[in-house]
Structure 1
Amino acid sequence: MAEAIRPRRAWGSFIVRLLMLLSLSFAMMSRPALAQSILRDAETESLFHDMSAPLVEAAGLRPKDVEIVLIHDKSINAFVAGGQVVYVHSGLIAAADNANEVQGVIAHELGHIAGGHVVRFGEGMKMATGIMLLSLLLGAAAMAAGAGEAGAGILAAGQQAALGKFLAFSRVQESSADQAGASYLHKAGISGRGSIAFFKRLQNQEFRLAIPQEDSYGRTHPLSGERIQILENAYKNDAAWNTKTDPALEDRFQRVKAKLAGFVEDPRTTLIRYPETDKSVPARYARAYAWHKSAYPDRSMAEVDSLLRDRPNDPYFLELKGQVLLESGHPEEALASLRDAVSRAPDQPLISALFGHALIATEKPDNFPEAKKVLRSAIGRDNSNPFAWYQLGIVYDREGDRGRAALATAERYNLEGVPRLALANAEHAMQNIARGTPDWIRAQDIAMVSRTAISREGKKGDGVK
């Protein structure tokens, strides 16, 4: 009986090891991005779009179809997880010295998208699983014939071969994405210096972690040194090698990097990195967020006002001023700055959503019609913002429109992945909205999707039992 159990243990061991490797795979494809914290910011998203657009076009994709999404994660990483979305960790932005380095990373990830690597990921699993199943059958046969040690050896060899096959497949995918990314940089006329610099930074990490540099066998990625060696000659011989990043784009990147530091880091760390003696725009921007997080609105506002003295029409500085005033309990005072920001950046729905929130926060009924107009406009441009739906639901509730208040709430919970609350509100909306209207049909759609999600959750729960 003990001999009969051993193949199952070997198979279980293989599955565990393979799943561990999958969690570290080239694109982090087994990580659900929505389980992590997505950071949304109008200025950052605009920058990501502009710095990636020439690369997206070089990859044969359409810029409007590709999203670059920022994830709150300190690790230096980026990944794709299906569709045409590149997820970039905040730690990568913090580690990058310049915009060109991030462009190199984005080019690589676009290589995964254009190459269909997420879809083909199952091929590597299928090959590895096939090898393991064959070794399992042969090992079991040997054990049944009384050759227990030989059977165990077959299982161990099969396990090793399966893992090796999967790892080799993953490394091929990575190398393919490297080559594709290099071609996109070339077509877009963007230097590969940043890509090489970033790989060298990763190589330094490998040195610090004492990762052997002789051979990448046993890894999901080629060693950074191997990647540098392959790419460096191609990049240096490219006409774009000495091409400088557009100064305006680089300035925007440094602003966003500092802004992100002020938002996600401990304020003390930010204030040490960007001391009061540093009067640059990025430094003042970072300190404004750090002081705001520390509950020093006056010091935060002093930094914001200094930025606006230099650039009085900057919509993102105006947005920050309105945010500080609003979150410090002064919504009425925030309106002028936010209204100005919206007028100067009418294509930025996140700013519009913040303005709508400020209008509602004044608790003045006269402001509600404008809030509804602004929020509906924001959702029209970006209907995937739960916060905007939440605020719109408040307006409908204040107006006494219970059906559309429930529908807006259902939209919010649907986006947040809370199907039971989405279903409850969708059903309430259907009871209070005229049957057959577009809003009623939308509520019906949310109800159907939510029921399916709840049913799926129930089946998973049954499986665990």
Structure 2
Amino acid sequence: MTLIAQPAMAQSILRDAETEALLHDMATPLIRAAGLDPRNVSVVLVGDMSINAFVAGGQAVYINAGLINEAGSALEVQGVIAHELGHITGGHVISDGGSREAQGISILSLLLGGIAAAAGSGDAAMGVIMAGQQAALGKYLAFSRGQEASADAAGAEYLSKAGLSGRGSLSFFKRLQNLEMRYGFTRNADSEFYSTHPMTSDRITTLQDTYEKDPSWNAPADPELEGRFKRVKAKLFGYLSEPQRTLQVYPETMTDVPARYARAYAFHKDARLDKALAETDALLTLAPNDPYFLELKGQILLESGRPGEALPMLRRATQLSNFHPLIATTFGHALIATEDPAQLGEAEQVLRAAVSRDRENPFAWYQLGVIYGMKGDLPRARLASAEQQALQLNYPQALQSAQTAQAGLPTGSPDWIRAGDIAMEARAAIEQRKKRR
């Protein structure tokens, strides 16, 4: 993956339609058990292979990809989510006036960033921003051990109310304990997770008694959710790991869905198009109407410079996913990448619908700007640039673009008002930055 890091940003946040749907379904019963509204709580995947999860302001739980990779089941991850929700309900987050900056968003490609080549222009280097986010996660909150114990207790309560067994939580803590022993983790300032969390053995002892007494202790895991977890885990591994490593973990002798999923990413990253397509075709033979398999094949074709061939896959994936904005944005980009003027009308329609459902999608705004520019609608092209730049925390450029857009838009129109809002937001952010220096 190609990351576009901004000065204030430390980590990449991955966005993917299938993964977000899984995390939402895993978290929803726990969020409700915590007395929160699922519409207001998000679970965000961080592109960091270290084992950690945290909250950093607001009602958002951040889970590192490394934690997903280490976890053996969806139930284990649900135990982590329950714990982090305990931090949120316990008020263990320090409010920061700069929280918007601390959690700024920038969409990144879920695959490789070869979109830039497919688009056929230097400006299309922005094409690497597709299905991920950037967030300045350097402001980790170092919870005290007392707060961790409180979050453990709250997490156990939420698992119980949701009817989920604590076996997964205990299993995950035992994994951490094994890692401590295997790699000799020390609790010092250089080991953030281990220096701020209670001793794993103590947590296991305390929680085991609580969980074993709970009526949900023997509740079975959801097999459908567990199957989806295995898919996503393999998908992320194939995306984040070096191709050689992926092929070691998921050799070609393995023919199940997770293994083929992982290898499709590995082969694509290694520019072995025929093998990547062979894996996606095998997946589609098993499930021809799976929107995520269709999306993957479409992305591989698009990022390999074959956008015309990608269109049927991405159009179908968009329809089957109920017009998921991330998938729709890839479809819109493929329409533009064909360089066929006849496709621009549909591309504009698709991308406008995508941003209406997910405004925090910089690449969709970038593509809309491209379309407006090709149509000669420069004020709206600059407004789309302002939306993109504000999401990427490039406030000076956002201010300039918004002012230019507003000068050319009809006074009082919705777009004129929106340009003014972005300009006001950008000015305030610039002033805040000055004060912190």
The bucket for the TM-score relative to the shorter chain is 0.7 to 0.9
Task: Report the counterpart of residue 3 of structure 1 in structure 2.
Answer: none
1:244 matched to 2:220:
yes
CA contact (8 A) 2:57 2:95 kept: no
Please state if 1:299 is matched with 2:299. Answer: no
* 2:175 alignment partner, one of 201, 210, 214: 201
Where do 1:138-157 residues align within 5 Å?
none
Q: Does 1:260 align with 2:262?
A: no
Q: 1:346 aligns with which of 319, 322, 341?
A: 322
Distance 1:245 1:292 in 2: 33
String of CA shifts for 1:56-103, please: whole Å, max 9, x gaps. Answer: 000001111111111111110000011111111010011011101100
Q: 1:283 and 1:328, CA in 2 relative to 1: closer, same or farther beyond 3 A? A: same
CA distance in 2, matches of 1:378, 1:247: 32
Pairing 1:49–2:44 present:
no
SS at structure 2 position matched to 1:356: helix
- Structure 1 counterpart of 2:134: none
Q: What residue identity is the alignment partner of 2:145?
A: R
Return the alpha-carbon distance in structure 2 between the equivalents of residues 430 and 380 of structure 1.
20
User: Given residue 36 of structure 2, which amino acid in structure 1 is its aligned partner?
Assistant: L
Q: What corresponds to 1:181 in structure 2?
A: 155
Secondary structure at the counterpart of residue 144 of structure 2: helix
**Preserved contact between residue 41 and residue 350 of structure 1 (Cα < 8 Å):** yes
Q: Which residue of 2 aligns with 1:413?
A: 389
Contact 1:174 1:221 in 2 (8 A): yes
Residue in 2 aligned with 1:374?
Answer: 350
Residues 289 and 210 of structure 1, relative CA distance in 2, 3 Å threshold: closer
Superposition pairs of residues 3-402 of structure 1, within 5 angstroms: 35-119=10-94, 170-207=144-181, 208-209=183-184, 211=186, 219-402=195-378
Q: After the TM superposition, which parts of structure 1 deviate over 6 Å for at least 4 consecutive aligned residues?
A: none
Note the C-alpha offset of 1:219: 4.7
Q: Check whether the contact 1:379–1:385 (CA below 8 A) recurs between aligned residues.
A: yes
Structure 2 residue identity aligned to 1:66: V
Q: CA deviation at 1:206?
A: 2.7
Distance apart, 1:34 and its partner CA: 5.1
Partners of 2:33 and 2:9 lie apart in 1 by: 28
| Paired residue secondary structure (2:196) | coil
Cα distance in structure 2, aligned partners of 1:261 and 1:210: 23
The CA deviation at 1:347 is 4.3
Q: Residue deviations 1:6-27, cap 9 Å, x none?
A: xxxxxxxxxxxxxxxxxxxxxx
Question: How much identity, in percent, do the aligned residues show?
Answer: 59
Q: Structure 1 residues 33, 48: CA separation in 2 closer, same or farther (over 3 Å shift)? A: farther
Q: Secondary structure at the match of 1:88?
A: strand
Q: Deviations over 1:316-347 (max 9, x none)?
A: 00000100110011111100000100110124
Shift of 1:36: 1.1
Aligned residue for 2:108? none
CA distance in 2, matches of 1:316, 1:33: 33
User: What whole-Å deviation, never above 9, does each CA across 1:170-224 have from its counterpart, x for those lacking one?
Assistant: 1111111000000000000111111001111112233342648xxxxx9532111
AA at the equivalent of 2:359: N
Distance (Å, rounded) in 1 between the aligned partners of 2:329 and 2:322: 11
Given that 1:427 and 1:444 are in contact with CA atoms closer than 8 Å, whether structure 2 keeps it comes out as: yes
Q: Report how far residue 352 of structure 1 moved.
A: 0.4
CA distance in 2 between partners of 1:439 and 1:301 (Å): 42
1:419-442 residue CA offsets vs partner (Å, 9 max, x unmatched): 111111111101111111111111
Residue identity in the other structure for 1:287 = R
Give the deviation of 1:379 after TM superposition. 0.7
- How far apart, in 1, do the equivalents of 2:381 and 2:278 lie? 39
The AA in structure 1 aligned to 2:21 is: S
Q: Deviations over 1:386-428 (max 9, x none)?
A: 1111111111111111111100010000000111111111111
Q: Distance in 1 between matches of 2:56 and 2:258?
A: 32
Match of 2:423 in 1: 447
Aligned mates of 2:35, 2:368 — CA distance in 1: 38
* C-alpha RMSD of matched pairs (Å): 1.9
Distance 2:160 2:219 in 1: 11
Higher relative contact order structure (alpha carbons within 8 Å, sequence separation ≥ 6): 2
CA distance in 1, matches of 2:324, 2:213: 40
Kindly state the Cα deviation for residue 262 of structure 1 after the two structures are TM-superposed: 0.7
The 1:210–1:379 alpha-carbon spacing in structure 2 relative to 1, beyond 3 Å, is closer
Structure-2 residue corresponding to 1:147 = none
Contact kept in structure 2, 1:260 and 1:286, CA below 8 Å: yes
Say if 1:33 and 1:81, in contact at 8 Å, map to a contact too: no
What is the number of residues matched between the two proteins? 380
Question: 5+ unaligned residues in a row in structure 2: which ranges?
Answer: 1-6, 97-140, 188-193
Q: In 1, are the aligned partners of 2:399 and 2:426 still within 8 Å (CA)? A: yes
Deviations 1:351-375 (A, max 9, x none): 0000000001011111111111111
Q: Does 1:434 align with 2:418?
A: no
Give the number of the structure whose residues are more often helix, by fraction. 1
In the alignment, the residues of structure 2 paired with residue 265 and residue 277 of structure 1 have an alpha-carbon distance, to the nearest angstrom, of 19
- Tell me the SS of whatever aligns to 1:178: helix
Structure showing greater radius of gyration is 1
Are 1:335 and 1:355, in contact at CA under 8 Å, matched by a contact in 2?
yes
